[in-house]
A and B are shown apart, each in its own frame.
Chain A
Amino acid sequence: MVTRKDFEGTERPTWCPGCGNHAILNAIKMTLAEQNIAPHEIFIVTGIGCGSKLPHYMKINGFHTLHGRSLAVATGARLANHGLRVMTVHGDGDGYGEGLSHFLNTVRRNLDIVDIVQDNRIYGLTKGQYSPTSERGKRTPTSPEGSIDGPVNPLAMAITAGATFVSRGYSGELRHLVWLIGEALNHSGYALVDVLQPCVSFNRSYAYDFYNERVYKLEDEEGYDATERTVAWEKAHEWGDRIPIGILYRGDPIPTYEEQVSALGAGPLVKQPLTTLSAAQVEALRTGIM
């Protein structure tokens, strides 16, 4: 039986007191314990940013890669060893800015990856510049007159790109987040968990008070049907006095990418025997060039 203690790392997080990343880290540990996934059975790939240091603060297989590239690295890892559970964890600047193309392309490929985005709507590690999810008019060191860029809508983008599991969590709702990540892990195919997360140092306009007053849980909302794609797409645009969290869209699973790769029919690539070519194979290859 796996317990939360199994995931305890030896290093203490370098995050600010009150940072939403603490809750996300706890939620991941709790979820993995609840789902009975041992530290060596999961591979967490992260990008670069405050939150991407997460694997260092727990005990799991982790790969802390480059800014924006975690999904690409995770794609290769998943294709080469689909025996591993693969999770990516990265920030909004990482995933929706530098890595936006990988985000959309990973969604449409539908690899079995849980993608957790620490969405604090700001760049933290580089000290407070506006991010792809910052609202228009945001004043930051790179937008002293207010940003002119409009924000991306990751949930709507994921739905449009064909994701079958699109959700939003909030770091101030730990139990709810644990439930969400668990649902994402149990969903076959790509699953997005965009997590609203206060940055207490650089984004005071989205503090706990802001979210506490506004977030509501979709599963408590009478009549909300998360299996309706167009409804979900509309819901993804709700942002104001009320901000929905929970599963916005859960479609019927479609075949994952790795299920459809011929070479993976014989099991995970790295578990298949690695030998030089047989005499018959050499003969066949030679014949092709004779």
Chain B
Amino acid sequence: MVQDDLTIRIGGEAGMGLESSGAGFAKALTRGGLYVFGLPDYYSRIRGGHNFFSIRVARQPLYSHAEPVHVLLALDTETIRRHVDQIVPGGAVIYDEKDGMPEELHRPDVNFCEVPLSALAQEKGGREVMRNTLALGVTAGLIGFDPTYMERVVRDNFASKGQAVVDANLRVIEAGVQAGCPFQTDFSFKMEAVPDAPPRMILNGTEAFSLGALAGGCRFVSAYPMTPGSPVLHWFAARAADYGVVIKHAEDEIGAINMAIGAGYVGARSLVPTSGGGFALMVEALGLAGITETPVVIYNAQRPGPATGLPTRQEQADLLFTLYASQGEFPRFVLAPGTIEEAFFAGWHSLNLADRYQTPTLVLSDHYLAVASRTVEIDALGFDEVTIDRGELLTTEELDALDEPYRRFKMTQSGISPRAVPGHANAVWVSTANEHDEYGAISEDAANRAAQVDKRARKMAGADQESPKPSWYGPEEAKTTFVCWGSTYGPLREAVDRLNAEQPNRANMLHFSGLHPLHAEATEAALKRTNRSIVVEGNSTGQFETLLRSYTGFVPDAAIRRYDGRSFSPKYILGQLPQEV
């Protein structure tokens, strides 16, 4: 039987290499013409505990993970204990002969396959740790996936480590495929490769955002490690030399943002990736960028707070904090990409907004978007659409022609003052964190103060047009409209599909990725189109609902909120629906 949607889950302790082998398998499936949604689940520890990596694979595009498991690769007994209940009838557990199988975990409707994973990995590969690769080989055999795709990924991934390592991995995969399971031939869930499929890509939100930022001319990245924001710094660090980017692992988040402001001030397109706790430390400097009108982009991959919260888990509870962080008032943009495509767009669009409006721009990502990987079409990332627009940045020629003392904070109708960077004899000025006059000199004059506040605020007149319009998914007319933002897009999209598959026009979805300012006209029009509305978001107080209500007066009919540290899934959303939907 050819299945069109199944989930393979590999579980074990931290340090067993689940994520890298899982990512390799996900890549092989993608190359095999299938669509993948990969989601790691891990604890904030380096060894021990229980981690797992879920690979959902299908013949059609996927936007979310799903809970039912079809094949469970248990690298320890704890994996069976925790996940055996989620296995669908007819599914399989592959476990190590060395670990055995406790009788009380047995399920008569599930196939259990004992393989000498450790022994075979040691024998064929020379290292016991390769048993995860071996187990994936068993899986390929089980689901009928052509292992050649895995072998090619091994060749690409391990080429730099030498032929011996490549060969060892290839032997281990082959041993896995041949090890087989007694029920292999009549296993219910098969996922054969689609050999003639067009080439596709697989990436997570971290990679998509980073690619967008690099394409958009980001040349300076400073950060302090904090999950799940730091992978952006890792991504840039690995490419810094090749693409002419300066990266700086700073002493703390305060140092990181101030470095980015220094770099932005002298003219580099600068980015600070972090998570909520790190962003909390950056808040004073955010105001410095605001009052000195210095471009900088801050990427906050949210995780549950407050304080350390749940470091490796999901929440969308930094929204209002991000909107209002800092004492005082100044303009800002807040983008909240929900998909791989939107993350790429936010990468370069945020840099343009920061430069053109000379003000900080914040990108609100989250754990789910940052770590979940998805197969997308080859043209999913709009490299051709990328522009580098520096706004009113004075050129050397324009500065050469300047015939009056330079006014960095010149009063203009748009509120945007033509910007110079230090280094030209005709534009020598001082900027200050204090309120200042047009030239940059400290001023406590009341009229000047009001005028400068107004000037900065004026930059945002009409700037809502820069925010992405809310997007619709599903039928034009539906009984219920789900309203969401950020990464809730994927799971909610599938929930909508499932509802409409049961009964047409039951639900549609309105998704926001431009949170501040809201695109006024499009938002108003969209909200008018809703019948019964349910706001779905990952926090306990309904922050987006508050935002919508305060800026538009919109009051939804119901809310679904999740704040247990876990990501939304289609099943979770459907399980929370009010009776009437």
Contacts and interface: CB of A to CB of B under 8 A. Distances in A.
Interface in B253-289: 254-255, 258-270, 284-285, 288
A41 B260 CA distance: 21
Interface string A101-112: 110010000000
A49 to B, nearest CB: 12
B434 A64 contact: yes
Interface string B454-495: 000000000000000000000000000000000000000000
Contacts of A286: 201, 378, 381
Contacts of B243: 263, 281
Contacts of B285: 66, 69
Contact-residue bracket for chain B: 35 or more
Contacts of B428: 39-40, 59-61
Nearest to B243: A281
B252 interface: yes
Nearest to B251: A105
A126 interface: no
Contacts of A282: 215, 383
B576 interface: no
Nearest to B252: A101
Interface stretch (B179-187, B418-426, B499-507, B520-528): B418-426
A264 interface: yes
Contacts of B201: 286, 289-290
Interface string B272-309: 00000000000011001000100000000000000000
A62 B442 contact: no
B441 interface: yes
A286 B207 CA distance: 11
Interface string B213-244: 01111011010000000000000000011011
A40 B219 CA distance: 23
A76 B430 contact: no
A3 interface: no
A61 B388 contact: no
B250 interface: yes
Contacts of B43: none
Given A64-B433, A81-B423, A270-B268, A263 B262 contact: no
Interface stretch (A162-170, A190-198, A271-279): A271-279
B248 interface: yes
B73 interface: no
Nearest to B385: A276
Interface string A62-80: 1111100100111111111
A290 B387 contact: no
Interface residues of A, number: 54
A80 B263 contact: yes
Given A56-B441, A81-B267, 15 more contacts: A10-B441, A40-B422, A40-B425, A56-B432, A61-B423, A62-B430, A63-B430, A66-B433, A72-B255, A75-B258, A76-B260, A80-B246, A80-B266, A84-B422, A102-B258
A75 B259 contact: yes
A84 B266 contact: yes
Contacts of A266: 244
Interface of A: 10-11, 38-41, 43, 45, 48, 53, 55-56, 59-66, 69, 72-81, 83-84, 101-102, 105, 261-264, 266, 269-270, 272, 274-277, 281-282, 285-286, 289-290
Contact of B245 (A83, A263, A289): A263
B50 interface: no
The 7 nearest A-B residue pairs measured at CB: A76-B262, A76-B259, A72-B258, A62-B430, A80-B263, A61-B422, A262-B241
Nearest to B269: A274
B221 to A, nearest CB: 11
Most buried by A among B219, B246, B378: B246
B158 interface: no
B31 interface: yes
B266 A270 contact: yes
A285 B347 CA distance: 15
A101 B215 CA distance: 34
A36 B11 CA distance: 66
Interface string B196-209: 00011111000100
Given A72-B250, A263-B246, A290 B199 contact: yes
Contact of B248 (A56, A75, A272): A75
A74 B284 CA distance: 17
B421 A270 contact: yes
A204 B55 CA distance: 71
